[in-house]
Amino acid sequence: MSSPVHRLPPEVLAMILEHFKPIPPCPDSRNSLFDFLLVCRTWYDTIIGTPQLWAFLYLDMPLEIARLVLTRSQMHPLSINSRAYGMRFQWHKPHNETEILEMALGHSTRVKCVNVRVHDLRHSGLQKLLKSPTPALETLQVHADYRRSFELDASGLLDELTPSEGTPLKHLSLYDIPTRLDHPRLSNLITLKLSQRAVPHSPEPLLHLLSCSHRLEVLDISDLTESIQGVRATAPILLQHLETLSLRDMPGKYTATILASICTPSCSVIEVRDNRVRAWEDAVVVEELDAIIWKPGNHQAATLVGGPDSSKAPSMLNIGVSDGCVIVESHGMLGGELALEFTRAHIPRFMAHLAETLSQLPHPPVVYLR
């Protein structure tokens, strides 16, 4: 007991443990809170008396440990997750998810983060939790797992989320789960990630949400495979703080509508990859949108190829054409990344747009054609 570590003040020890982030209480894993409880009496008392160390509720926990977590976390904000750092508890009973979410209902007012994978929303307990008051909720990440259930009904995921008792969410990530993008608690997001059925068939509700997202830093939209409804570019929406833009596996006219409707002067990580399906039938609409995006002097066009800021712009661009797709990749881009794949029916016309935009940059990069 002469070691200096045993003479640490309890508050310092608590800070170190919180920074180290030991695996939440799990008797079958290494570096668990249960292991640290056995070090000495001081460590035991400190860990038991530090609620933030117990504020992680995992849906694969044994029920008795979940109850312990809810008790020892006291009134500290809770984080609800599917698995303990990707691990499975060796001796958990199957199908505990619903029971644990039911237990969390009585603590809904202190739920700060929900990051779960669900197999059937009708029986997961998630709907009940989101219908309860959640004033502290900041992060909502829900992944629908169709490998386990082909009858998932998620049409009303956020319909009953109590807007009057909570501030706007900060981070929203939905995979394969449709929801209302006009919900009041989505009015000023920092992170927005939507994939598959979570992506609205029309860009209009998404653009409306972006117009309210003045602090947005990450926009990630991907995997829209179904046919989309009418597209129409809006007046440019300024996303002053956007740093990461990712539009992947989307119909060209959907991607082009978004690019024609936003202005992202601070964006340094850009990934745009058109879905090559229906490229020819959408050609007329896409060309009309390209005329807006790549209009001479358009700041957004300059951003797409690395930006007008010479300190952040790439030193070199690789540009190639393959199977009706123009591919642009950056090299030497300080603190950023650029990866573009535009599917176009008329490649020469699009290359002319690209060349004109590059020629107008104050410090054009070296371009290699391949």
Position 236, amino acid: P
* Confidence bin at 129 (pLDDT 50/70/90): confident
What global pTM score does this model have?
A: 0.87
pLDDT tens digits, 24-71: 555 555 567 777 777 788 888 888 888 888 888 988 888 888 898 899
- Which pLDDT does position 89 carry in this prediction? 46
Residue 307, both tokens: 């930006």
Close Cβ partners of 237 (under 8 Å, ≥ 6 residues apart): 207, 210, 211, 261, 262, 263
- Minimum mean pLDDT range among 8-17, 40-49, 306-315: 306-315
Please tell me the distance from the alpha carbon of residue 112 to that of residue 122, in angstroms, as a whole number: 22
Please tell me the distance from the alpha carbon of residue 347 to that of residue 342, in angstroms, as a whole number: 9
DSSP structural state of residue 167: P
Name which residue leads in pLDDT, 309 or 154. Answer: 309
Q: Indicate whether 8 pLDDT > 80.
A: no
Please tell me the distance from the alpha carbon of residue 98 to that of residue 3, in angstroms, as a whole number: 45
Close Cβ partners of 233 (under 8 Å, ≥ 6 residues apart): 257, 260, 261, 289, 292
292 φ, ψ to 5°? -80, -50
Name which residue leads in pLDDT, 179 or 356. Answer: 356
pLDDT tens digits, 180-214: 888 888 988 999 999 988 899 889 999 999 999 99
